[in-house]
């Protein structure tokens, strides 16, 4: 969702803010802005300087390049994904109070802003936007005014008047948000708050930072403090002080990120998404090396006895993670014999299944900050369920909520459309199913070793697909730049891959696409088919191979153009499909790792040929941190 960057130190704040916001573009946004306090010789002349622009960061940068404001060593920046109010400049962050000397940026939603706005208007405050955020600077200004009338009397434990005004304001806010605040009369401090939306503090030498996500910080520091819910921090050039909502000082130990700036560069690829598709074999190899010993023992790092007595599994996730979870359900049930359900986290929150003993609830989220998934996990934990997180960001909120966490170790993923993180999640489910199967005696030692050896072969097969197919798929994709509808079909373990293929195409090409179980075609979707609706069918050798070919024949009889993800050398497949995206023949249980790659490439090239912003699709955010 929205991106926040804050800086206080010895550099040009604008340079740090724009650099950080550029690293947060993947979160999705429609306007951007910065507010700084220029360095002037006379403190009495200091004022807040704000620049905002509708559209992409380039529009903001053009305004800043024409700006003549003096150097500023403190500032806050923001990329806005519109919620309250249209994506216009007057709704862009930072927002200020009536006097224009205090600025706030926010990620999240203030749910009671209507009531607060009414009360503030009655006190004479003037509002100029339709956003919920604008109530925050006005409330802080109101509390500052009250404190000043009292002679700036604040509690002994409060570090400053500005901090106390922010703390009192936060007590009145309802919702999920992260905010950063600066004030021209207090140019030596930056105050930040986290409440159910991510915010990380970066620690440097004579400088400190804050951001919605760590990619904005890695160019300057790898020492960070992720704020917890309800915490307020005061940043100066020399120090970072963290407090709870009551104003009590907290002791927090900084963490060191195992990242470097080159991990977030395109490295010669046209788009991050294409780079990340090509990184998948390496991600898979790294995951195998991390979690399987040389003697083929699985070592997920779960606490001793963590899965003992577990009789059922409930998986909660959203979007692509939900599709990975559907594959996980298949693996847990077919390999380990563990009854498993998969629910959308947003639905689980408001209609949870009956609470049953010995249930493991697994939350799956790439970012570790998906609001619905976190809330669902907290609900499960409150009911006494054991909770496991599967995430690419163990330093995130899910790592603190869950009883245990599995790190997918996919590295930073910048493209909004998930690719390598999806494959990494699939690998974690293979390993988890193996661990369950071995622990419960559902898998013999020989069968487990056979599966592990099969997993070890997959990276080479993935590379073969990438090397042999991308140019062909790029050429094929030109046929579909004006297509309006697609159907994706799959059965068994590859039905979730049909859903994922359809989602990828929708996300980045804006072509309507739907995934169905192939056997359901005749129960309604077949009515959609004609020569203008291509059908992509995943047909891999196994228990349902012939049935998928038969279902595809039904589509062909309706004049649909057929694309098959299928073996290259099978005459039956050549007879059915107009085009084949070939994959190596592997045991059906491993096929999702391979079948998803041609679908990722197809979606990527269709979108690229349509001239679209592949890495930052319209209306989408990488991490959905509010409900």
Q: Which of 343, 320, 342 is nearest to 331 (CA)?
A: 342
Query: Residue 247 and residue 263: Cα distance in Å, rounded?
Result: 38
Query: Residue 237 and residue 9: Cα distance in Å, rounded?
Result: 5
Q: Which residues are catalytic?
A: 2, 622
Query: Residue 191 and residue 223: Cα distance in Å, rounded?
Result: 19
Beta strands, E only, 496-569: 512-517, 535-538, 562-566
Query: Residue 224 and residue 232: Cα distance in Å, rounded?
Result: 15
Residue entry with tokens 């694309």? 563
Number of other CB atoms surrounding residue 134 within 10 Å: 28
Residue pair 576/474 in contact (Cβ under 8 Å)? The answer is no
**List of residues 6+ apart from 270 with CB closer than 8 A:** 608
Query: Residue 627 and residue 625: Cα distance in Å, rounded?
Result: 7
- 209 pairs with which residues across the strands? 7, 202
Query: Residue 438 and residue 290: Cα distance in Å, rounded?
Result: 19
| 361 three-class SS | strand
Instruction: Tell me: cis bond preceding 94? Omega within 30 of 0 counts.
Output: yes
Q: Could you tell me where the DSSP H helices lie in 67-109?
A: none
Query: Residue 365 and residue 371: Cα distance in Å, rounded?
Result: 10
Q: Which of 480, 483, 485, 530 is nearest to 512 (CA)?
A: 485
Residue entry with tokens 């002037």? 40
Residue pair 251/240 in contact (Cβ under 8 Å)? The answer is no
């Amino acid at each position: 969702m929205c991106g926040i960057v804050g800086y206080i130190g010895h550099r040009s704040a604008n340079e740090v803010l724009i650099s950080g916001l550029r690293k947060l573009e993947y979160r999705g946004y429609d306007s951007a802005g910065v507010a700084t306090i220029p360095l002037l010789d006379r403190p009495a002349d200091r004022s807040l300087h704000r620049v905002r622009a509708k559209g992409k960061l380039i529009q903001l940068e053009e305004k800043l390049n024409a700006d003549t404001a003096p150097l500023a060593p403190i500032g806050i920046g923001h990329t806005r994904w519109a919620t309250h109010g249209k994506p216009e400049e007057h709704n862009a962050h930072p927002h200020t109070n009536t006097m224009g000397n205090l600025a706030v940026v926010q990620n999240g939603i203030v749910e009671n802003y209507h009531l607060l706005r009414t009360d503030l208007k009655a006190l004479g405050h003037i509002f100029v936007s339709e956003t919920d955020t604008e109530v925050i600077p006005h409330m802080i200004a109101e509390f500052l005014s009250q404190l000043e009338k009292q002679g700036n009397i604040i509690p002994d434990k409060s570090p400053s008047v500005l901090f106390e005004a922010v703390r009192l304001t936060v007590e009145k806010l309802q919702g999920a948000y992260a905010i950063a605040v600066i004030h021209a009369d207090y140019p030596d401090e930056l105050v930040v708050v986290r409440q159910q939306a991510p915010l990380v503090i970066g620690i440097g030498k004579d400088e400190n930072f804050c951001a919605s996500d760590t990619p904005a910080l890695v160019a300057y520091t790898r020492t960070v403090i992720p704020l917890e819910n309800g915490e307020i921090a005061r940043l100066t050039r020399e120090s970072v002080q963290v407090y709870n909502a009551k104003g009590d000082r907290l002791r927090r130990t900084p963490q060191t990120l195992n990242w470097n700036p080159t991990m977030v560069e395109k490295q010669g690829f046209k788009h991050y998404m294409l780079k990340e598709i090509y990184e998948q074999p390496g991600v898979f190899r790294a995951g195998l090396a991390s979690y399987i010993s040389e003697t083929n023992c699985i070592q997920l790092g779960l606490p001793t006895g963590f899965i003992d007595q577990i009789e059922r599994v409930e998986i909660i996730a959203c979007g692509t993670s939900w599709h990975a979870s559907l594959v996980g359900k298949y693996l847990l049930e077919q390999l380990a014999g563990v009854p498993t359900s998969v629910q959308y986290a947003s639905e689980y929150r408001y209609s949870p299944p009956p609470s049953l003993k010995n249930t493991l609830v697994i939350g799956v989220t790439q970012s570790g900050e998906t609001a619905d998934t976190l809330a669902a996990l907290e609900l499960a934990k409150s009911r006494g369920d054991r909770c496991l997180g599967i995430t690419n960001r163990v330093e995130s909120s899910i790592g603190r909520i869950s009883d245990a966490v599995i790190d997918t170790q996919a590295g930073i993923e910048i493209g909004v459309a998930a690719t390598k993180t999806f494959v990494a999640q699939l690998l974690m489910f293979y390993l988890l199913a193996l661990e369950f199967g071995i622990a419960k005696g559902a898998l013999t030692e020989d069968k487990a070793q056979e599966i592990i050896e099969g997993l070890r072969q997959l990276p080479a097969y993935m590379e073969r697909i990438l090397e042999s197919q991308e140019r062909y798929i790029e050429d094929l994709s030109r046929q579909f730049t004006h297509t309006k509808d697609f159907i994706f079909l799959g059965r068994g373990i590859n039905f979730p891959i049909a859903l994922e293929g359809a989602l990828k195409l929708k996300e980045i090409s804006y072509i309507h696409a739907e995934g169905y179980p192939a056997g359901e075609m005749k129960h309604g979707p077949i009515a959609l088919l004609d020569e203008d609706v291509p059908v992509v069918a995943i047909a891999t050798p196994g228990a349902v191979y012939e049935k998928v070919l038969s279902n595809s024949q039904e589509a062909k009889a309706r004049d649909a153009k057929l694309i098959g993800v299928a073996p290259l050398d099978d005459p039956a497949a050549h007879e059915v499909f107009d085009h084949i995206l070939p994959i190596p023949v592997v045991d059906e249980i491993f096929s999702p790792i391979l079948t998803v790659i041609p679908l990722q490439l197809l979606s990527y090239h269709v979108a690229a040929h349509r001239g679209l912003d592949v890495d930052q699709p319209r209306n989408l955010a990488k991490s959905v941190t509010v409900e």
